[in-house]
Every structure is written in C-alpha cells, then in structure tokens.
C-alpha cells in the first residue's frame, strides 16, 4: 500500500477590489446575472459568467423547477449556452458567485460536483485550462487555475476512448 497526496492551489484575494481588472469585470457580470436567477424554492441565486477565447462573455444563472431535479445550476446554464453558440471557442475563465436572500454569503460559493464535471469536459475538449473565480457577496475571492484542481481523480473521455478496444 502507498499513499498519494492530491493537492490544489487556490489564490486567495482578501476582497473583490483586489482582483486584476479583467477578473473583476467578469465577476461583476456574474453578480449582475445572479440577481435574475429563477430560484423560488431555494432563494439561493447563483450567477456565472464565462469569458471565451474570442472575447465573448456568456452569462447564466440557476433555473429551478417545481420538480426539483429538472432545474439547472448557473454554471451549466452558462457553459451549455456558450458551447452551443461558440462550439469551436475554448473557455478562458469562469466567474461564479451567489446571493442568499436569507443569509449574506461571506465566503466564496463552491460549484457543485455536476458543474465541475460539466466544465471539465470543455477544458479537456480544447486542452486548455479554464480559470475559475469564486466569490460570495462579501469577503475573500478564490482564483483557481484549472477545473482539474477542483475535481481530482476525475472521470474523463480518456477512459472511454481506448484505441485498443475500438473496433
Ligand atoms: N446551484 C448552482 O446554481 N450552482 C452550484 O454550483 C450549486 C447550486 C443552485 C442550484 C439550486 O437552484 C440552488 O443553487 C440551491 O442548491
């Protein structure tokens, strides 16, 4: 038996005002779109803004449903729209933030496992890291260089595309 250690690097900014301008601008867009989330059940509004390599910005927010699993997170709303509109353009970075109308969020929101997996697909598709910016309503902002850092030991197409077994 041996033990392997998996580690990830997170850049911690004390507050949003300290971010480099490009990142701050994208985060502002995520904050704006969070306010239009459709979240009558959780009252938790999430916003995501994706910057693409061609400079386009695509935003999305969470869309809930009375049949709960039919809803979708902000990150996937944005990522699927970005990929549908710009199928050949890699994602440069994604900013994710949230507003909880019941309790101010003073720490960075953490994307759910499904969204990490969905975003990883685009990182792999283009073989280009997607930078991640995570914030709450106040407090620290996290910047992470790659989706891989948020999803170690992940399941990817490498497991499926095994040339040896393909007919
Ligand atoms: N939510 C997101 O939009 N993104 C995440 O990464 C975590 C959760 C949404 C889903 C649901 O509408 C609400 O937040 C509460 O879970």
Classify residue 57 by burial, with Cβ atoms within 10 Å: 0-12, 13-18, 19+: middle
Protein residue closest via CA to atom 10 of ligand 1: 73
Q: Which atom of ligand 1 is nearest to the CA of 45?
A: 14
Measured in Å, residue 161 CA sits from the centre of ligand 1 at 31
CB 39 less than 6 A from any atom of ligand 1: yes
The confidence score (pLDDT) of residue 16 equals 95
pLDDT in tens, 85-133: 999 999 999 999 999 988 999 999 999 999 999 999 999 999 999 999 9
Residue 165 is predicted with a pLDDT of 47
Domains in the chain, start-ordered, CATH in brackets?
10-151 (3.40.140.10)
Regions in the chain scoring below 70 on pLDDT? 162-167
- pTM comes to 0.95
Known catalytic residues?
75
Q: Is the CB of 131 under 6 A from ligand 1?
A: no
Phi-psi region of 137 (alpha: psi -120 to 50; beta: other; left: phi over 0): alpha
Q: Report CA(90)–ligand 1 centroid distance (Å).
A: 24
The confidence score (pLDDT) of residue 161 equals: 77
């Amino acid at each position: 038996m041996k033990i392997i250690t998996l580690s990830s690097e997170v850049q911690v900014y004390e507050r949003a005002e300290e971010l480099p301008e490009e990142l701050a601008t994208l985060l502002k867009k995520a904050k704006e779109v969070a306010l239009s989330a459709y979240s009558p059940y959780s009252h938790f509004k999430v916003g995501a803004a994706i910057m693409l390599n061609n400079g386009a910005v695509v935003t999305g927010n969470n869309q809930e449903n009375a049949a709960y699993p039919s809803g979708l997170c902000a990150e996937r709303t944005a990522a699927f729209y970005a990929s549908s509109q710009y199928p050949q353009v890699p994602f440069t970075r994604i900013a994710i933030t949230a507003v909880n109308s019941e309790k101010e969020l003073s720490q960075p929101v953490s994307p759910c496992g499904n969204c990490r997996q969905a975003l990883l697909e685009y990182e792999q598709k283009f073989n280009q890291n997607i930078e991640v910016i995570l914030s709450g309503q106040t407090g620290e902002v996290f910047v992470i260089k790659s989706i891989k850092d948020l999803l170690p030991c992940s399941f990817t197409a490498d497991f499926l595309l095994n040339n040896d077994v393909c007919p």
